[in-house]
Amino acid sequence: MHRLTIALLAALDAAIAAAVGLVVLLAPLTLLWVLAFGLSAEWGSLWPISAALWQFGHGVPVQVVIPDEVILAVGIPEQGARFALSLPPLAILLFSLLFAARSGRRAAVAGDGAAGIAGGLAVFAAISVGVALTGRSGELRTELWAAILLPTVIYLAGLLFGAIRHAWSEGDGGIIDRVHDVVDGWGDWSPVPAESLRGAAVAVMALVGAGGIAVVISILLRGGEVIALFQAARVDALGAFMLTLVHLAYLPTMIIWAISWLAGPGFAVGVGTALSPAGTQLGVLPGLPVLGLLPQDSSTWMLVSVLVPLGAGALAGWMIRSRLVWEGTGAALWPRAAIALGIAAVTAGVAALAAVLASGSIGPGRLAEVGPNPGALALAIGIEVLIGAGILLLTPRHRDELAEERTDRWLEEMRASDTPVD
């Protein structure tokens, strides 16, 4: 495919990704605006709110400044009239990231990943600039550089991931192939980089699945508390619908919190609070329905939850060990040890990044500190995944495993030589 065509298609992907994200925010806000204020209401404030929420969904901190007339009319305390929001709804961020990865992969498959990355990045950056310049608001304030840079960086990360992943596995005839050739010359150590990343991907997906299951279990056990908080909020059907949409946007954040709880460090929901398997310390919380899912107490037996990250590491180690046996590479002890360390290090890095994205401020006062501690979560995940992966990768190979490997090799050689095999 021609380079210009690839760039234009990637640019179209970027425009669609940004438009979908904005429309998903703008549509329910428009419905709420019409039902609350009517068709004759002033529409000028709707776009700045949508723009600020789109930026907030991409990790841009938002400074909320409540006007003086609202403070006097509602009676809001002065210390609560200005606060920061820095805990983004990660569903919007993940959508942009995954859409960009798909676009980057399509460009690499078409034959020119660099052109696709350039085209997609240019359009998404231009849209970010337009949204940042036209969506300025006196009540929802963002730093201009952050409003432009952070959404662009997130989309660029997705583009690079999709393009490089395809180029590494299928080749690109350029720098990725040259790097691949250098790594292939390392002998027994050549599988270390690729298998470390592959094992880390397995461990991360296992942890995400476990976190999702934990959230589902919490909903089943504490769904009554959530319903009671919905009723206590005294919202109508439209308000309940909007609250539900907000909860769904924060579902990835809740999964990261659940992973942190399972791993041991837990997380905070306000200054001086802590929720972990070892103990729960909570103060007065706002009446958000989602907070009804939080466990109110803990017991020592809950510490067995640390077996979940151990199991994720063991699953990654088992899958990588099977690949190494099948491919006949990385048989020595030290390369396998390096793979186990690589799996743990990459998984810990992903956990730290996830904790950074899933922590921040959701209001004034005590709510300025919410979420897991990135350093503690990375350390716990790294150690637990390392133990699980190390057990599977470093245990001596059983004679049955060696015999099975020799049989598989013999069958492959027979098939390759066109010799009939019984």
- Averaging pLDDT over each range in 86-90, 139-143, 153-157, which range is the top one? 153-157
Beta bridge partners of 65: 82
Confidence label for 330 from pLDDT (cuts 50, 70 and 90):
low
Asked if pLDDT for residue 407 goes beyond 90, the answer is no
What is the Cα–Cα distance from 322 to 145, expressed in whole angstroms?
47
DSSP code of residue 271: T
> What global pTM score does this model have?
0.88
CA–CA–CA angle 227, 233, 238 (5° rounding)? 85
Q: Express each pLDDT in 255-301 by its tens digit.
A: 999 999 999 898 988 888 888 888 788 777 777 888 888 887 766 67
Confidence label for 303 from pLDDT (cuts 50, 70 and 90):
confident
Q: Is-contact 313 386, C-beta < 8 A?
A: yes
Question: What number is the average pLDDT over the span 194-199?
Answer: 91
pLDDT of residue 64: 84
Q: Express each pLDDT in 355-403 by its tens digit.
A: 999 999 888 878 888 999 999 999 999 999 999 999 988 876 655 555 5
What is the Cα–Cα distance from 57 to 26, expressed in whole angstroms?
13
pLDDT of residue 280: 80
What is the Cα–Cα distance from 422 to 187, expressed in whole angstroms?
34
Q: CB neighbours of 91 closer than 8 A, spacing ≥ 6? A: 57, 248, 249, 250, 251, 252
Q: Express each pLDDT in 12-55 by its tens digit.
A: 999 999 999 999 988 888 887 777 666 666 667 788 888 999 99
Asked if pLDDT for residue 411 goes beyond 90, the answer is no
pLDDT of residue 373: 93
Helix (H, G, I), strand (E, B) or coil at 307: helix
Torsion of CA 20, 46, 371, 283, to 10 degrees: -150
pLDDT of residue 388: 93
Asked if pLDDT for residue 8 goes beyond 60, the answer is yes
- Averaging pLDDT over each range in 207-211, 219-223, 224-228, which range is the top one? 207-211
Task: State how far the alpha carbon of 166 is from the alpha carbons of 16, 114, 118, 177, in Å.
Answer: 22, 13, 17, 11
Higher-scoring residue by pLDDT: 215, 394: 215
Phi, psi torsion values for 399, nearest 5 degrees? -65, -30
Higher-scoring residue by pLDDT: 110, 413: 110
Burial of residue 371 (number of CB atoms within 10 Å: 0-12, 13-18, 19+): buried
Q: What is the mean pLDDT of the chain?
A: 84
